Each structure stands twice: as C-alpha cells, then as structure tokens.
A and B are shown apart, each in its own frame.
Chain A
Amino acid sequence: MISEKPPYLGFGLGLRPQHYQEILDGSPAIDWFEIISENYMIEGGQPLYMLDRICERYPTVMHGVSLSIASTAPLDMEYLGALKRLAQRVRPKWISDHLCWTGVHGVNLHDLLPIPYTEEALDHVVARVRQVQDFLGRRLTLENVSSYVTFGQSEMTEWEFVSEVARRADCWLLFDVNNVYVSAFNHGFLTNDFLHGVPRDRVVQFHVAGHSHEESHLIDTHDHPVCDQVWDFYRETVGHFGPVSTMIERDDNIPPLAELVGELDHARSIARAVLGANRLEAAE
C-alpha cells in the first residue's frame, strides 16, 4: 500500500468557483490546484464539469474538512466511500484533511476542533489514520490546525503530537504556516519550536493564508491577504524544509484571481531567494 513520497508540484491555489472560467479561458501560471473535497461530493452540474476540465489541465490535490479523524465517533464509511469515489475521478496527487475532530453523536460542527495531546488521543488517532489509509489504499496527509484553547490534560506539545501521529501512522503532513503562526500567538509558543519539531521527511505541502487579529488572539479566517509576519515565517519554513509544494489558501472574501496569483508569485520569489532558482527547478 505504501506509495512513494508525492511529487513536488510547485506553487498552487485553492480552486474556487469564482475563478473557474478565468482559469479555463486563460490558463494562468498556477502550477496546481487544491480542491475542497466536500464541495464536489455532489451528483452533477457545473461544479463537477469544471472540476473535470481543470483536472485535465492541472495537477490536483484533494483537501477535506470533515474527515474528523480525531473524533471518538465511529468513522463515517459513507463519507469515506464518497471520498474514494471522488479520488477515482480526480486522481489527486494526495488527499489531505486536518488533525482535528468535527463532532460526535452524528453532529457536524463544521469547525476544526482541537484535542488534548495525550497518549490516549495519540493511540486513537493513529489507529484511525491507519484504518482510513487501508480503506483509501494510500497514505493520508494531515494538517495542523489553528486552535484557540489548550487542554489541562495535554501531556505533550502540539508538534510532538503531530510528529508522533505521522511516524506511528506512517502518514504525510501538510504544514500550515499560518496555523502554526496563529496557534503560536494564541498559546505563547515559538513558531520555530514547531518548525524544528516536525520530521522534515514527512512534510509534503505548505498552506499559506491570512488571519484576523482580535484583541487577545488570532483567528484563522482565511479571508485576508497573507500578512508580513506569516510571510517571514514562510521564509524560515522554506529555508528549513527546502522545496515543498506551496499553496495560498483563501476561503472567504475571495479576490480576483490575479490578486491570488500575485500572492503566489510572492511565495515563489521568497522560495527562490531562500533556496536559489537552481534548487527549485531541480525539485520540479
């Protein structure tokens, strides 16, 4: 079952309906797209038609928001079946979701909820990741989430927990640069501790996004341009990990495609400055 490490794809964007036509008409310089899996678990119509056309032209990865891998509710086999069917259609380079839970007792809270970092939670999540990987016939990629509370019973740091899940379950990691920044601010840890705390060979993708600043905390809203501090941390992240497929994630206040392509170019220029053009091209 274990496949090779997914390929380096370069610099991608989240596929959003507002941009379908412009992408198909203009073939913009975007290396790859990430789709929200749940948005295409539908029967037909324009979204699936556009998805098929875009998958013909661009490498694509699938990113879910409701796998609920850390939930104590039973795995939702109906959902996993739909995920697998969608993967047969899209042929994604990898499938990702979040290291979180979204509800119990049949409820979905449509949020990426945190868990205590305990041995109990670790055993639980690792067993579930293995089950899902067996079902999908491929490794899963898990993303660190932004969080606003920490639990009194946590026995380890978030990065220790994330790393152990990756090692024990033998899965990949999606390193969300913004989420590390947000959680570090909210919980008072150093972004570099997280950065240096996760295994390099497990990270296959970066997310870069914007957030909102409340008085005492940051909220991971994905509705703003990427801020300078997150770009600074991205610079360090690229320097540490080397060439990793990078994506700008915008879910709300979706701007014109050109604006996101501009942010993507900024990410590209940072990676080029840090790693050198030769190393980036070699990765491609």
Chain B
Amino acid sequence: MKSLREIQESFQRGILAGDDAILTEVKDSAKDRRKALFGVYRNAYVARLADILGEDYEQLHAYLGDRAFAKLVKAYIAANPSDQRSARWFGRHLPAFVRNGETYANHREVAEIAELEKALTDAFDGPDADPLRIEALAALAPEAWPNLVFVPHPTAIRLTFATNAADIWSALKGEAAPPKARHLPAPQATLVWRQDFMSRFRPLSAEEAMMWDEAAKGVRFGVLCEMVATFAGEDEAELRAASYVKGWFDMGMLAGCRTA
C-alpha cells in the first residue's frame, strides 16, 4: 500500500504533468470512469490559475485577444507551478516570462503592458503610509531646505518604457481602440504609486526622473538642486527642483521627510 506521501506526490504529478499513475489509486464511480473524475482536478488547476491571470492582467488580455492570451497563460502556468499560499502572487513572473520568451521578442510593448499592470496591482495592496502634506514644511526655516531628505511613498515603483505601452494600457482601460505600438524616441520614465486607495501612474521627464531616483536614494535637496543644474542648465535650477517636489507633495508621492 502506498504511503500518504506517495499518494500525494502521485496526485500532484497527475495534475501538473498529466501522469496517469495516480489512477491506480482512485476508483471509478457508479456514474463515471476514474480518469474523467480525476480530470476535474486537472481542469480546475489550469482554469483557476488562468482566471487569476485574466484578472491580474486584464488590459494585456484585451490587447492580445482571447486566443493569444490563453496561449500565453497556458505556457506560463506550465512553466511556473504556483509556490505561493495566496494566488494573489501567482502571476508575478509574467512580465519577465513575456520579456524573456521568444513569442513577443519583437513586440516589446507586450512585456511593458504586463509590467505596468503588475506594478499597479502591487501598488494597490502595498504598504500603508500617510502621504506627507506640504503644510508639514510650513514651519521649516529656508536655510533648512538644502538638508531635507524626502522619503517616497512605500508603494512607489519606478518603471522605464521603451514603447508607448502606457498609452496602449490607458486606451484599453478606457475601452478605446489602442494606438499602434511603437518604440519611443527616448525611454520614458514612469512612476506608479497609490493615492487615496487608487493605483496611479504618470510619466516623468528625464530630469524629474533623475531627481526622483536620487531623492529616493536619500540625496539631500541641496545636492538635488545641484544635480538638476548639471542635468539641464543652472538657469532656474532651484525653481525647477522645487516645482518637482511640490508636484510630489500634491500627488501623494511622498511619505515623509527628514533633515540630514
């Protein structure tokens, strides 16, 4: 008699690899053959995970269409047995799976749409933090500003797109016809974060992206201003830096600041 461990290993192989050895351990019912009955488990595994991926990557599904999305999902499920207690995390490797696979090697926008959707999902239930309000700085003496260090909201995720994937995503989300995919003349920095329980994203100019990335590393505001001056000219560099920071406050992109 097989041990419980052997039965479970065989059952799992039956689901994941289509191995029929488990059928010697289970019985026909009065109404059906064991292979058909075990098939309920085989079908449920793929169907359940496909549903989850469809929910997590709704716009990718819309972009690819039913047939291509089903093919992608089937390949992903076969290559990535779930190792998570919660199905919430099952699809986390899909962007890399698309990017590293051959199918969409010449359609970079497909992986980028997936990256954007994953980031939006991650921001949605990422860590909580009250957004820092600009009023918090009202009492600050002007000479303290150069030493300020800003703390990004913990849900903030920085992405860079080579294609117009974000525009395609937005059109599909609005149930409009997506623009034709194209490579951008220069990579587009994008920030995803959560504000008022909603995941959001917005493009960042190259200068703002540079400043955001440095700020996120803990670089002081005074040094950020010097970097901005070096990046695109000294003329009104401090004003440009201050306007970026104001935007970060206004959009809830910051969770805190401290004086270095």
Chain A contact residues, CB within 8 Å of chain B: 38-39, 41-49, 66, 71-72, 76, 79, 82, 101, 103-111, 113, 115-116, 118, 120-121, 124, 148-153, 186-188, 215-217, 219
> Would A151 and B26 count as touching, CB distance under 8 A?
yes
| Chain B interface size range | 35 or more
Chain B contact residues, CB within 8 Å of chain A: 1-5, 7-9, 11-12, 15-16, 24-27, 29-32, 34, 36-38, 40-41, 44-45, 48-49, 81-88, 90, 124-129, 155, 194, 197
> Would A105 and B49 count as touching, CB distance under 8 A?
no
Chain A residue nearest in CB terms to B8: A104
Chain B residue nearest in CB terms to A252: B51
Say which residue of A82, A106, A113, A153 sits within 8 Å of B25 (CB atoms).
A153
A104 to B128 alpha-carbon distance, docked (Å): 34
Chain B residues positioned under 8 Å from A113 (CB to CB)? 8, 11, 41
Q: How far is the CB of B229 from chain A (nearest CB, A)?
A: 37
> Would A66 and B85 count as touching, CB distance under 8 A?
yes
Q: How far is the CB of A162 from chain B (nearest CB, A)?
A: 17
Among A104, A148, A217, residue most surrounded by chain B Cβ atoms (within 10 Å): A148
Q: How far is the CB of A144 from chain B (nearest CB, A)?
A: 17
> Would A124 and B125 count as touching, CB distance under 8 A?
no
Chain A residue nearest in CB terms to B33: A216
Chain B residues positioned under 8 Å from A101 (CB to CB)? 8
A103 to B34 alpha-carbon distance, docked (Å): 20
A115 to B84 alpha-carbon distance, docked (Å): 21
> Would A104 and B45 count as touching, CB distance under 8 A?
no
A103 to B124 alpha-carbon distance, docked (Å): 28
> Would A108 and B40 count as touching, CB distance under 8 A?
no
Chain B residues positioned under 8 Å from A108 (CB to CB)? 82-85
Chain B residues positioned under 8 Å from A43 (CB to CB)? 125-128
Chain B residues positioned under 8 Å from A44 (CB to CB)? 125-129, 155
Say which residue of B7, B27, B126 sits within 8 Å of A45 (CB atoms).
B126
> Would B41 and A110 count as touching, CB distance under 8 A?
no
A187 to B92 alpha-carbon distance, docked (Å): 38
> Would B12 and A150 count as touching, CB distance under 8 A?
no
- Given A38-B86, A148-B38, A217-B37, the answer on whether A115 and B194 have CB atoms closer than 8 Å is no
> Would B7 and A148 count as touching, CB distance under 8 A?
no
Q: How far is the CB of B129 from chain A (nearest CB, A)?
A: 8
> Would B12 and A103 count as touching, CB distance under 8 A?
yes
> Would A152 and B25 count as touching, CB distance under 8 A?
yes
A153 to B4 alpha-carbon distance, docked (Å): 10
> Would A152 and B27 count as touching, CB distance under 8 A?
yes
A66 to B9 alpha-carbon distance, docked (Å): 17
Chain B residue nearest in CB terms to A115: B4
> Would B29 and A186 count as touching, CB distance under 8 A?
yes
> Would A111 and B25 count as touching, CB distance under 8 A?
no
> Would B27 and A151 count as touching, CB distance under 8 A?
yes
> Would A216 and B32 count as touching, CB distance under 8 A?
yes
A124 to B7 alpha-carbon distance, docked (Å): 14
A193 to B48 alpha-carbon distance, docked (Å): 32
> Would B197 and A45 count as touching, CB distance under 8 A?
yes
Chain B residues positioned under 8 Å from A116 (CB to CB)? 4, 7, 25
> Would A104 and B12 count as touching, CB distance under 8 A?
yes
Chain A residues positioned under 8 Å from B41 (CB to CB)? 109, 111, 113, 148-149
